[in-house]
Amino acid sequence: MPDRSLPIGVFDSGVGGLTVLAALEAALPGERFLYLGDTARLPYGTKSPASVARYASQCAGALVARGIKLLVVACNTAASAALPALARQFPTLPVIGVVEPGAAAAVAATRSGHIAVIATEGTIRAGAYQAAIGALSSDVRVTALSGSLFVALAEEGWTEGPIVELAARRYLDAAFAQPLPPDTLLLGCTHFPVLGRALAGVLPAGVTLVDSAATTARAVAQLLAQRGLASPLAVGATHFLATDGPERFARVGSIFLGRPLLAAEVELVDV
């Protein structure tokens, strides 16, 4: 039985997973978090499944070596490519990805039974969301879209205005113009929630935007309670690790975390 006061490990290819961390911090204020951004090898979204699985194994290993009680894979591409392998590699460690919670949120939100999911090329090609939604409900139709430019727009901080709106129209319009269009858009990349307002502005009225941050945080809270692993602390804390460029991690990361982050708070590590 792991120590309840150990931190929860969270990793992502870079800064996108900070949207999930922000939801975790909000939902679980007494927990300690150890966040690792693999900025030396980002993005994962355009890499092959074999490379992503190797990177994920190394990130998880680095967090486990420092001591964690639960692992959150806060990167859709890594969760798509590596979740079963991570569960085998660390058989006693509870591991939660962002794909199943996101899929569950989308299935709960749709009324028409048609969900659109937009994610990186790697996540879409891996078919993880399509499979996770299919496992939850056999009569839900899924339209899968890849939107790699959204990652660069989010990292550049261009989260509103005509450029992101035009890009959103280019990625989304055809899907929402089809007969019996989707009524739910699942953001299948942790970078995308910061573009939420711009995306909502170009979607037809009545379409629900869903991301996996809040539902992942709820899934983590449930699992901690089930296993008796909830922190005994009144106030938590977060420690940040990055495999490259603490300064850029802090600057760009602030956009995703929703609060200022200083380079001095980010420890440079090799995994």
Residues ≥6 apart with Cβ < 8 Å to 75: 11, 12, 13, 16, 17, 44, 56, 98, 190
Q: CA 196 → CA 15, 70, 96, 202, distances in Å?
A: 16, 29, 24, 10
- For residue 14, give the nearest of 252, 268, 261 by alpha carbon: 252
**Least Å distance between CB 50 and a copy of itself?**
8
Between 18 and 71, name the residue whose CB sits nearer to a copy of itself. Answer: 18
- In the window 185-204, what residues touch a copy of itself (CB under 8 A)? none
Helices 99-109 and 128-136 cross at an angle (nearest 10°) of 50
In the list 166, 225, 233, 237, the residue contacting a copy of itself (rule: CB under 8 A) is 166
Q: Does 155 interact with a copy of itself (rule: CB under 8 A)?
A: yes
Q: What are phi and psi of 121, to 5 degrees?
A: -55, -40
**Least Å distance between CB 81 and a copy of itself?**
13
Between 130 and 148, name the residue whose CB sits nearer to a copy of itself. Answer: 148
Between 33 and 171, name the residue whose CB sits nearer to a copy of itself. Answer: 171
Between 26 and 152, name the residue whose CB sits nearer to a copy of itself. Answer: 152
Q: Which of 21, 24, 71, 75 is catalytic?
A: 75
Site map 116..145 versus a copy of itself, x via CB under 8 A: -----x------------------------
In the annotation, is 75 catalytic?
Answer: yes
Both tokens assigned to 255 = 């956009």
Judging by beta carbons within 10 Å of its beta carbon (0-12, 13-18, 19+), is residue 84 exposed, middle or buried? Answer: exposed
Between 139 and 270, name the residue whose CB sits nearer to a copy of itself. Answer: 270
- For residue 31, give the nearest of 190, 191, 225 by alpha carbon: 225
Q: Does 245 interact with a copy of itself (rule: CB under 8 A)?
A: yes
In the annotation, is 59 catalytic?
Answer: no
Q: Does 51 interact with a copy of itself (rule: CB under 8 A)?
A: yes
**Least Å distance between CB 151 and a copy of itself?**
7
Residues ≥6 apart with Cβ < 8 Å to 258: 22
In the list 21, 35, 41, 106, the residue contacting a copy of itself (rule: CB under 8 A) is 41
Specify the amino acid at residue 14. G
In the list 6, 85, 158, 200, the residue contacting a copy of itself (rule: CB under 8 A) is 158
Q: Which of 105, 118, 185, 189 is catalytic?
A: 189
- For residue 72, give the nearest of 7, 136, 140, 137 by alpha carbon: 7
Interface residue list for a copy of itself (CB under 8 A): 39-42, 46-48, 51, 121, 148-149, 151-153, 155-156, 158, 162-163, 166-167, 170, 244-245, 248
Q: Would you name the residues annotated as active-site residues?
A: 75, 189
